[in-house]
Amino acid sequence: MTKETGKHFDVIVIGGGAIGLATAYHLNKRSCKTLVLEQFKFKNQLGSSAGVSRQYRIPYPEEYMVQMALDAQPFWDELQNQTPRKLLDKVGTLWFGDPAVHSTEGNIAEAEQALKALNVPYTTLTSKEIEAKYHFKNLPDTYTGLFQADGASIDFKATIETLYEAAEKSAHITLKEESPVTDIKQVGKLFEVMTPRGTFVTEKLILVPGPYIDNVINLLNFRIEATYWNMSSAYFKKTDPSIQYPTWFVFQNAIGENGNQFYGFPGVVWDHPEYIRVAPDFVIDPLSDPDQRTLVPNPQELAYTSEWIKNHMTGLDPVPHFTSTCLIALSKIANKELLIDFAPPYVPNHKNIVVYATGWAAKFTPFLGKILTDLSLDGHSEFDITPFKLGYNFFKAI
């Protein structure tokens, strides 16, 4: 199929990770001539899209997040129709731990309230039931849990590949890799976007460069208040081949530098099926700049993870066999990780600049692409983004 070429586009999407490609997917449906610029190679392992699986879950402490997860479901179904590869393995979500703990993911009791308010079915579990049904051991009697059956393990590599292939096939989408944006100039109502592979012109910008957000928005004279995590993850071999876990998350109080919150996945057919992935949901040394990331997991974070597996999981060798990392930007406000907004008003033409920054968005991928597309083309989205419009607080003028 012949691609539309030239230098003038209706929309330029900066950032070619999962969210950028999902945005291109929806812009294609609106027949928008779109350029997606990726600073590295597409499908790279250098940003928030790194790794092969993610959790799709509905429990959240806030009703609007539960609603967002529910609203994302039909968009996953639609994307599933584009590929024979199974994108979501519906193994359920298990949340358990100390009911008093409030973590970056929220609190179990608050999540129960939000699920109830939106009539989402779930079951509650005692500590002993969690051990008996889900293979954990030595949990304190005070631990509680909830199981929500619609949770899934996302084949994130297949998700990204499906979106990439759709963009490649589209007559409306141009993909350019190894094209870091070096400057953005405003010329009347137009933006001129400079890269080493050419200068491109557009009426609308959608900025989704993941943890590299500042590299882009600094060119428009604002920055974001965020911190960056080089998140560790490791694969543990099953010593009992029949063992299977759902996707899970444990809420516990930190012990010194050990954040003591962990999450995990089942063995999945698309990624070392004989291994279970378990990861710490904390970092010992947050980064102030994404360029400080190393691609090497922090050994102490992995040691705490192994220790937890040894003490509380069954059927696994607690020595990690493989590791991976992913880079994430987080805003500094508790639980409100996603920032979806227009550029701040002091940026000329700000209503034509849509930004998604910070937080864990993989589970919303195809839906977030739709939201960003509607915001860019229509100025609003049917999904109420009020709770995510946090630019007034986290964007700062340079």
Q: Which residues bind ligand BEZ (CB under 6 A)?
A: 55, 57, 105, 249, 263, 281, 360
Q: Which is nearer to ligand BEZ, 125 or 328 (CB)?
A: 328
Least distance (Å) from ligand BEZ to the CB of residue 76?
15
Which residues does 32 contact at the CB level (< 8 Å), separation at least 6? 10, 11, 172, 373, 377
Which residues does 82 contact at the CB level (< 8 Å), separation at least 6? 162, 166
DSSP state of 43: T
> For residue 68, which phi and psi values (nearest 5 degrees)?
-65, -40
Q: Which is nearer to ligand BEZ, 27 or 309 (CB)?
A: 309
Cα–Cα distances (Å) from 62 to 118, 121, 173, 278, 381, in that order, read 11, 16, 36, 25, 20
Q: Which is nearer to ligand BEZ, 62 or 203 (CB)?
A: 62
Q: Which is nearer to ligand BEZ, 51 or 344 (CB)?
A: 51
Cα–Cα distance for residue pair 44/394, rounded to 1 Å? 28
Chain position whose Cβ is nearest to ligand BEZ:
360
Q: Which is nearer to ligand BEZ, 204 or 336 (CB)?
A: 336
Q: Which is nearer to ligand BEZ, 337 or 374 (CB)?
A: 337
Cα–Cα distance for residue pair 337/357, rounded to 1 Å? 9
Least distance (Å) from ligand BEZ to the CB of residue 391?
21
- The owner of tokens 């199981």 is 147
Q: Which is nearer to ligand BEZ, 55 or 352 (CB)?
A: 55
Q: Which is nearer to ligand BEZ, 132 or 254 (CB)?
A: 254
Least distance (Å) from ligand BEZ to the CB of residue 118?
17
Least distance (Å) from ligand BEZ to the CB of residue 226?
16
Least distance (Å) from ligand BEZ to the CB of residue 390?
17
Residue 246 amino acid letter: P
Cα–Cα distance for residue pair 97/229, rounded to 1 Å? 23
Cα 378 to its chain centre, rounded Å, is 25
Q: Which is nearer to ligand BEZ, 104 or 393 (CB)?
A: 104
Task: Identify how many contiguous H helices and E strands the chain contains and give both numbers.
Answer: 9, 21
Strands in 127-197 per DSSP E: 144-148, 152-155, 173-176, 183-187, 190-195
The two three-digit tokens of residue 41, written as one number: 């190679």
Percent of the chain as helix, strand, coil, to the nearest 5: 30, 30, 40
Least distance (Å) from ligand BEZ to the CB of residue 208?
17
Least distance (Å) from ligand BEZ to the CB of residue 124?
20
Q: Counting beta carbons within 10 angstroms of the beta carbon of residue 149, is it exposed (0 to 12), middle (13 to 18) or buried (19 or more)?
A: middle
46: helix, strand or coil: coil
The two three-digit tokens of residue 140, written as one number: 């304190």
Least distance (Å) from ligand BEZ to the CB of residue 105?
6
Residue 233: name the closest of 110, 327, 364 by CA. 327
Least distance (Å) from ligand BEZ to the CB of residue 20?
19
Least distance (Å) from ligand BEZ to the CB of residue 301?
13
Q: Which is nearer to ligand BEZ, 11 or 330 (CB)?
A: 330
